[in-house]
Amino acid sequence: MTQYILDTDHITLLQHSNPLILQRFETLHTSDVAITVINVEELIQGWFNAIRQASQPGQKQRLTWAYVGLRSAVKFVNDFLVLDFTESACEQAIFGAAPSGNTNWDTRFADCVHCFG
């Protein structure tokens, strides 16, 4: 059963091997950790933006870096259970208050863990 949902900030820190995040992550069972389809969209969109920006003459090295990053992100997300974005999650995360009353957009999705399927 999923007990932890990573937000995009923690995913980025994990991808960059942040020592504090790695230390904490190593204490968890992988079956207890999930990400949301929102995280997937944010990660992939970031790499799409990098690819678009690097698709200019003279940007060969940066374009290669961006495509390597996109491939790495796809591989990374495949290692996790990806929770769906349901109508219930949409209602609570976007249109209503999250269960904790949190109003911060980035963390409201994690508050709605029971809303993701």
The answer to whether the predicted template modeling score (pTM) of the entire model surpasses 0.85 is no
Q: What is the pLDDT of residues 32-54, one digit of tens each?
A: 899 989 899 999 999 999 999 99
Residues in the chain: 117
Give the whole-angstrom CA distance, residue 76 versus residue 14: 10
Q: What is the pLDDT of residues 82-115, one digit of tens each?
A: 988 877 766 666 655 555 555 554 555 554 544 4
Indicate left, alpha or beta for 17 from its phi (over 0: left) and psi (-120 to 50: alpha). Answer: left
Give the whole-angstrom CA distance, residue 62 versus residue 44: 17
